Amino acid sequence: MIRRVWRVLPGPQWARISQAIVLTAVFLVVLHYFYSWLGIVLLDQGGTVG
Amino acid sequence: MTETQEETRQAGDTAEGAAPGLGRGLRILHNLGWTLIYLGVFTLGFVVHQLFVTTWFAEQNQPELALERLEQWESTEISEVVVVPDSTDPDDPNDPGISSGATGSTGDEPPEPLILKVESPPDLGAAFALIRIPKIERLQEGWNVVEGVRTADLRNGAGHMPDTALPGQPGNSVISGHRTTWGQPFHELDALDPGDRIEVETALGTHIYAVREILVVKPTDFWVADPREGAWLTLTTCHPKFSARQRLVIAAELVFGPNAEVIEVMS
């Protein structure tokens, strides 16, 4: 899957590397928020009541 | 691209993609295998994120919150309320037994007025207190408590429920905290026994509570946050560990601190 994404990135090598870094950062941030939400739903709601 | 590179690329496509050379059954098995690998990586990532990444973030915030707390203490306005013990009927539910201000005594000798120190409420999201529990290793050095129990507030570990009393004040002060994620400050809360000490430091000074009750309730049992006579501290966290099914509630009574004496008289 990573290879497929890499292949569709346009431009020369340096531009593809830059795009890959930005995409990876965005992916990690989205994943962080998704995992945080999932953790609150499944594991630990912070102990709040009510 | 050279011929060798192209061959390598095609080999990669075959390994990861639709596997055209395989039969229908094997293709399904092949895709199922990859799906399970992705699910495994996703689940492993989730576990690592919850146990380590969230705690790393919460711990990184602690020094900054400590500075914010000290600034908050400097800017906190502390007012003094004069409390005069009253000698009226203690069985009368409409009679609180105290009066504020310089009047209210009906006894032969006017009782000595006492001073209740009251601090201004902190802003939502601001660090304003430090909780220390000597019996719990993680909390021996103290953990910063912010005002509020919104998701963003609790990413710092522990938050004070607005609309409940501030620590060291009459009523019921409720502090909620994460148990297994986001710094997990209340991870070992189940190690507490009746009589154990909980210290909360605010702009007023250090308030020392003694554990009186340990309960397991439903997340919807809001009554644990109801006001109480005297000065109480209620700690709530998820229970059991790694589950949000129930709440572990520790209720502790104020035994020492800047307001302990006057609150005891008021009660």
pLDDT by residue (tens digit) across B75-117? 999 999 888 776 555 455 454 444 444 444 445 677 778 889 9
In chain B, the residue whose alpha carbon lies closest to the alpha carbon of A46 is B178
Amino acid (1-letter code) at residue B8: T
Tell me the C-alpha distance between B254 and B66, whole Å: 24
pLDDT by residue (tens digit) across A7-41? 888 889 999 999 999 999 999 999 999 999 999 98
Out of A3, A36, A48, closest to residue B149 by CB: A48
Q: B186 and B180 in contact (C-beta within 8 Å)?
A: no
Tell me the C-alpha distance between B90 and B239, whole Å: 39
Look at B17-21, B90-94, B168-172 and tell me which has the smallest mean pLDDT.
Answer: B90-94
Which residues on chain A are in Cβ contact (under 8 Å) with B149?
Answer: 46, 48
| Cα first-last separation, chain B | 85
Tell me the C-alpha distance between B138 and B63, whole Å: 15
Q: CB distance from A29 to chain B under 8 Å?
A: no
Please list the alpha-helical segments (H only) found in chain B. Answer: 3-16, 24-48, 54-75, 151-154, 260-266
Q: What is the pLDDT of residue B104?
A: 42
Which residues on chain A are in Cβ contact (under 8 Å) with B11?
Answer: none
Out of A1, A43, A48, closest to residue B236 by CB: A48
Q: B30 and B37 in contact (C-beta within 8 Å)?
A: no
CB–CB contact A39 B247 (8 Å) = no
Mean pLDDT computed over B218-235 = 95
Instruction: State how far residue A47 is from chain B, nearest Cα, in angstroms.
Output: 3
CB–CB contact A43 B243 (8 Å) = yes
Among B59, B60, B57, B55, residue whose Cα is nearest residue B181 = B55
Reported ipTM: the value is 0.85
Both tokens assigned to B179: 């148990």
E-state strands within chain B: 78-85, 98-100, 114-119, 127-132, 143-147, 158-160, 171-177, 197-202, 205-217, 231-239, 246-256
Higher pLDDT, B109 or B259: B259
**What does the mean pLDDT of chain B come to?**
86
In chain B, the residue whose alpha carbon lies closest to the alpha carbon of A34 is B46
Q: What is the pLDDT of residue B102?
A: 40
In chain B, the residue whose alpha carbon lies closest to the alpha carbon of A40 is B244
In this prediction, residue B20 has a pLDDT band, given cuts at 50, 70 and 90, of low
**How far from the centroid of its chain's Cα atoms is residue B141's Cα?**
16
Residues of B with CB under 8 A from a CB of A: 9, 12-13, 16, 45-46, 49-50, 53-54, 149, 151, 154-155, 159, 161, 174, 176-182, 186, 217, 219-222, 224-225, 235-238, 242-244, 247-249
Q: B245 and B217 in contact (C-beta within 8 Å)?
A: no
On the CB side of A21, how many CA atoms lie within 13 Å of its CA?
5
Among B149, B94, B105, residue whose Cα is nearest residue B125 = B149
Strand B143-147 vs strand B205-217: parallel, antiparallel, or unpaired? unpaired
Residue B50 has pLDDT above 90, yes or no: yes
Instruction: State how far residue A7 is from chain B, nearest Cα, in angstroms.
Output: 10
Tell me the C-alpha distance between B186 and B237, whole Å: 7
pTM (two decimals):
0.81
Residue B2 has pLDDT above 60, yes or no: no
Give me the sheet containing B98-100, strands edge to edge. B98-100, B78-85, B114-119
